[in-house]
Amino acid sequence: MTAVSLKKILTDANKNNYAVAGLVVLAWDDALAFTKAADETGVPIILQAGPSCRAHTPVPILGKMFRHLAAQTKTHVCCHIDHGYTFRECAEGIDSGFTSVMFDGSKLSLKENIKTTSKIVKRAHDAKVSVEGEIGFVGYANGKSSEGTLPNEAVIFAKESNVDAMAVSVGNTHLQTNKIAKIDLEKVKEIQNSISTPLVLHGGSGIPNLIRKKLARETNIAKFNIGTELRMTFGNALRKQVKNNPLIYDRLQLLKPTMPEITKITKRIIKNFGPQ
């Protein structure tokens, strides 16, 4: 199936009370496992190339890879640049076949965030590409603390930047290995009562499964970024493979057996808060 924009995939999600997983890709292997999970469940997904992925593989190569996988998948797939920190990074994604880019201006002032995001939105929309922006800062486990989104700033940002989706900081944290996040549901509802922009939660791995499902069914949160949870799945599967096969040195033989486990866990995740 042809790759679709983030606007398309999230508008459908909000309309039908479900959310879509933004699956953090590091290489071909996990991207293939993610699309296999989408195929086997019929649940749409978002393939995301974050900073570490882009540092490992050139963006033009990733664009072709994501597009190829989307074309082979029976359900909708969005090809997304995650955490672009500059206009140039986002423009490269737009020019390389991605159907969506995320500009992370969360460390900027509201005025500067809107200014740069708006510039990227114009460039992207001219190419029929969607844009996700961020207002408020989502912190990191064992790193810099979050700065929660202010509802009044979220409303201003959404209206003036014209983003297609907006990431917010409401208790979610990047790189959490335990599901301990406490989401401020009242803040989420306050934001969505003033704007119709689909909302995004980064750090989705740290949010309990039941809460992810509840948020997908009852709020405008249409996208959960899932990375740490699946990296842990891969790491545990690879360690087991290496331990059980000490004489195997071929990296493909070591990596291939991890894919069924990644596919299995991905299916469980996307079905939990996906279409009913």
82 is catalytic: yes
Q: Give the number of other CB atoms < 10 A from CB of residue 89.
A: 20
Contact 99, 129 (CB under 8 A): yes
Phi, psi of 231 (to 5 degrees): -65, -40
How many Å apart are CA 129 and CA 134, to the nearest integer? 17
DSSP 109: -
The HSE-up count of residue 12 (CA atoms within 13 Å, CB side) is 16
Phi, psi of 215 (to 5 degrees): -65, -40
How many Å apart are CA 13 and CA 70, to the nearest integer? 18
User: Which of the residues 39, 82, 104, 164 is marked catalytic?
Assistant: 82
Catalytic positions, written as ranges: 82
